[in-house]
């Protein structure tokens, strides 16, 4: 089924709330498409290192690595290193060595490019854009951080463009920064209030930081626009991953609505770890005969517990189907042991692609 969703698609973005098996689903989709002859790269922007373990790779870096998966196509994987991606971007776009060094050695740049959450989102989009432009893969599969952060990464390029586009950047980089005559009274009032909130040193440093970028800002803006276009392109598919738990279902419905509102190409939902139906027949007497009263009672207790979860899953998925209207939903059952290697991913294949 997934294969149909991804026909004529270059990019598959897997989104959903935390702990629903998004990383596993991304890896299984990538592996499945590679098994069907495609050259696929799967990348994660989650700051936590999970993709490597699900692909049986001890380490992943900022470059794609070929996974030894015995497939007709090729499977590659990478883990985004935001700082290195940012550095490479500066190196690529700096008009000269002096500009490059000025940015890379700027203290604010160093802090923001490594430690801070939002830079992950920017750089993931950048990397996706870069890999897409290079065109070395038939399909790029992106594993994203939990839902609400995933929305951040969709918004990130737009926020950057808005800032660069506006006169705000000029405000900070104007040669007469401290005079600010050029911006008139309104701006100088804002400036003096801002100075009171942040202190003058920080504003000076910020000004220096923005100036160090020089003309590169407009290049970044173009790239940010390119990324926005890429996300809404008809060759991109958003796949929502969810578990059948109520909170995850609510998040999936929320994200589905946001995707549609933003006009982004939504393909369908993968519901992961669905408890299989437990039959309602009375087997007490038979079990007692087979294994004795004590053990039979324990089996029946287990059954009753599992049935409660199976019933909940069925109710929740019915509700999600109703909210999705006619959009497709794939169910992957809760498999016996948790999936964290290539064999496990292969076991998901029949449900995702079946």
Partner 1 sequence: MDKRLVMVMGKGGTGKTTIAAALGLAAARAGKRTVVVEVAEQQRLAAMFGVRPTDRHDEVELAPGLFGLSIAPSRAMEEWLRHQLKSGTLAGLLGGSRIFQLLTAAAPGVSELVTMGKIWDLAQLQRRTGGSVFDLAIVDAPATGHGLALLSAPGTFARIARTGPIARQARQIEEFTRNRAATAILAAALPEEMPVAETIDLEGRLADQSLALDAIVVNALYPERFDSDESARLAALDGRGSDAARAAVVAALSEHRRAAGQRSQVARLGEESRAPLVTLPHLFAPELGRDELETLSELLEESL
- Rank residues 139 and 342 by Cβ distance to partner 1 and give the closer one: 342
Output the smallest distance, CB 299 to partner 1, in A.
4
Do the Cβ atoms of 227 and 126 come closer than 8 Å? yes
CB 55 within 8 A of CB 343: no
218 forms part of the interface with partner 1 (CB under 8 A): no
Three-state SS for 24?
A: helix
Binding segment for partner 1 among 91-99, 128-136, 174-182, 285-293 (CB under 8 A)? 285-293
Among 10, 41, 75, 145, binds partner 1 (CB under 8 A): 145
Query: Is position 105 an interface residue for partner 1 (rule: CB under 8 A)?
Result: no
Query: Kindly report the CA angle at 315 between 310 and 321, in degrees rounded to 5?
Result: 120
**73 vs 243: CA distance, rounded Å:** 29
Residue count, binding to partner 1 (CB under 8 A)? 82
Per DSSP, the three-state class of 57 is coil
Q: How far is the CB of 320 from partner 1 (least distance, A)?
A: 15
Give residue 73's Cα distance to chain centre: 24
Triad 292, 293, 298: Cα angle to 5°: 105
Residue 321: alpha-carbon gap to chain centroid = 23
The binding track of 60-79 with respect to partner 1, each residue x by CB under 8 A or -, is --------------------
Among 68, 162, 178, 222, binds partner 1 (CB under 8 A): 162
Residues of this chain, 18-57, that bind partner 1 according to CB under 8 A: 18-20, 23-24, 46-50, 53-54
Structure tokens at 9: 């698609």
Pick out residues in 286-305 that bind partner 1 (CB under 8 A). Answer: 286-287, 290-291, 295, 298-303, 305
Give least dist CB 143 to partner 1, A: 12
């Amino acid at each position: 089924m997934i294969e149909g969703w991804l026909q004529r698609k270059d990019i598959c973005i897997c989104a959903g709330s935390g702990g629903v098996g998004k990383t596993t689903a991304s890896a299984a989709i990538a592996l499945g498409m590679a098994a069907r002859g495609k050259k696929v790269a799967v990348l994660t922007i989650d700051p936590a290192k999970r993709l490597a373990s699900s692909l049986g790779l001890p380490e992943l870096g900022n470059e794609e690595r070929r996974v030894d998966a015995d497939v007709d196509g090729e499977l590659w994987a990478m883990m985004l290193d935001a700082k290195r991606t940012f550095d490479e971007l500066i190196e690529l776009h700096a008009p000269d060595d002096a500009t490059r060094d000025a940015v890379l050695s700027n203290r604010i740049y160093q802090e923001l490019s490594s430690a801070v959450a939002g830079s992950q989102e920017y750089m993931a989009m950048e990397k996706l854009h870069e890999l897409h432009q290079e065109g070395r893969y038939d399909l790029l599969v992106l594993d994203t951080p939990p839902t609400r952060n995933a929305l951040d990464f969709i918004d990130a390029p737009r926020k950057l463009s808005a800032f660069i586009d506006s006169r705000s950047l000029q405000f900070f980089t104007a040669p007469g920064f401290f005079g600010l005559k050029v911006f008139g009274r309104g701006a100088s009032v804002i400036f003096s209030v801002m100075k009171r909130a942040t202190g003058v040193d920080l504003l000076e440093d910020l000004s220096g930081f923005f100036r160090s970028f020089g003309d590169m800002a407009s290049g970044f803006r173009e790239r940010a626009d390119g990324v926005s276009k890429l996300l809404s392109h008809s060759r991109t598919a958003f796949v929502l991953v969810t578990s059948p738990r109520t909170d995850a279902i609510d998040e999936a419905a929320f994200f589905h609505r946001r995707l549609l509102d933003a006009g982004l190409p939504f393909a369908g939902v993968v519901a992961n770890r669905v408890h299989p139906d437990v039959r309602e027949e009375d087997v007490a007497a038979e079990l007692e005969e087979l294994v004795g009263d004590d053990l039979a009672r324990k089996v029946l207790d287990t059954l009753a517990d599992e049935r409660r979860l199976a019933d909940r899953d069925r109710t929740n998925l019915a509700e999600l189907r109703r909210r999705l209207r006619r959009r497709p939903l794939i169910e992957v059952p809760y498999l016996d042991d948790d999936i964290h290697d290539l064999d496990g991913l292969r076991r998901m294949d029949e449900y995702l692609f079946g």
